[in-house]
Amino acid sequence: MKKMLEFIRKKYAWSIIIAVFLSISTTYTMLDAFVMPKSYEIVSQEKSKNTTVGTQTTSEVIMNSGSTSTSNHDSSAQTEAVTSDYSYKDDNININVEKLEENGTVFYVADIQVSDVSYLKTAFANNTYGKNITQATSEMAQENNAIFAINGDYYGFRDTGLIIRNSVLYRDTARSSPDDQALTLNSNGEMQVVTEGEVSGTSLIDDGILQSFSFGPALVQDGKIASTLSTRVSKSANPRTAIGQISPLHYIAIVVDGRSSESNGMTLDQLAQEFLERGATVAYNLDGGGSSTMWLNGKVINNPTDGHHDGERSISDIIYIGK
């Protein structure tokens, strides 16, 4: 104790103590925010079954045109799926992806029509709800037998934000900004933008909300450019991922490549415009940058990059179309 008091009285002792405190606390904070995985809940098979439509086995036959015919032996119905590099079609799911290039930007527009909302699903990395638990979009898509997948909202990088997945409320903490909005999907297949904090997660579950995504901002609301968009940082062109709806069970997903010599990326305003031109009534921005990934029929079809490293980034969650 005496030695400690003597040390504290020394000229630079205080500075050393503060420097050590700041170094340790900063390192811990950065590790906690970016690295240390924390598992809060493993998604049970029971929860997954709630949204599964039948069971299936799949066999593939390569066809002359380069397209593939897939037989899905569904417990409810037998369907013949026709697939190509940019499309998938069966009795219940119709996906067409267009690869477009405008003003030096390459982007992919997926037009998705499903017969039932249960075909639009979500999955967590390693089937676990938690923080810093990550997996590549393609890995999650394969593990969940997805037909089509895009990256989600990367909920696991934040401690706040409304998270409902497959009818389970995982997080009901509103983000700090008053205009932070979440996208919800209800049991009729309708998407709606809600302001976090104004509605509780429990009431949304009671209202039949199946999924919610917490990133934003909203791009399109009621068939118009969202009013909150102008207040957001939307001037920089970046890789983007967004999802929207034309009508219930008819959705559009857009993934934009960027930060590369091949593609500049899009501003949020440009992205909102793309949705409007396609007749979207609702559209919502998801996690972008290096996370932006679109996966169809077993492969990644865009070029994900964060500007420094090419290839898929490991993320928390995906939105996918699957049976």
Partner 1 sequence: MNLKKTIRNYIILAVGAFLLSKIYALFGHGVTSPWMSNLYLYLLGPGALAYFLISQLIPDIVWRKGYRLFYNTYNSGIAVLINGMLLYGVLEIAGGTSQIVPWFLYIGCGLLLTASVMFYRLVRIQACNIDK
Query: Residue numbers of the site for partner 1 (CB under 8 A)?
Result: 14-15, 18, 22, 25-26, 28-30, 32-34, 154, 157-160, 175, 233, 235-238, 259, 287, 289, 307
Q: Which is nearer to partner 1, 221 or 238 (CB)?
A: 238
Give, in order, the Cα–Cα distances in Å from 41 to each of 19, 80, 127, 208: 37, 37, 9, 22
Residue placing its CB nearer to partner 1 in the complex, 72 or 238? 238
CB 59, min distance to partner 1, A: 42
Sheet holding 181-186, edge to edge: 191-195, 181-186, 209-213
Instruction: Give min distance, CB of 131 to partner 1, in A.
Output: 10
Considering the complex, state which of residue 54 and residue 307 has its C-beta at the smaller distance from partner 1.
Answer: 307
Residue 174 in tokens: 């509103």
Specify whether the CB–CB gap between 320 and 146 falls below 8 A. yes
What is the nearest approach in angstroms of partner 1 to the Cβ of residue 157?
4
Decide whether 26 or 50 has the Cβ nearer to partner 1: 26
Nearest distance in Å: CB 271, partner 1 = 14
Closer residue to partner 1, CB minimum distance, 30 or 100? 30
Which residue, 221 or 285, is less far from partner 1 as judged by CB?
285
**DSSP letter for each residue of 28-85:** HHHHHHHT--EEEEEPPHHHHHTT--S---EEEEE-TTS-EEEEEE-SS-EEEEEEET
Residue 149 β-bridge partners: 295, 320
- To partner 1, the closest distance from the beta carbon of 194 in angstroms equals 20
We find the least distance from the C-beta atom of residue 173 to partner 1, in angstroms, to be 10
25 versus 187: smaller Cβ distance to partner 1: 25
Q: Which residues contact 247 (CB under 8 A, 6 or more apart)?
A: 281
Cα 88 to Cα 231: distance, rounded to the nearest angstrom: 38
Coil, strand or helix at 156: helix
Rg (CA), the chain: 22
Could you tell me the smallest distance in angstroms from the CB atom of residue 150 to partner 1?
17
Q: Which helix (H) or strand (E) holds 250?
A: strand 250-256
**Least gap, CB of 255 to partner 1 (angstroms):** 17
Between CA 74 and CA 85 the distance in angstroms is 23
Residue 15 or 76 having the CB closest to partner 1: 15
Tell me, letter by letter, the H, E, C secondary structure of 196-222: ECCECHHHHHHCCEEEEECCCCEEEEC
Closest CA to 289 of 274, 270, 273, 308: 308
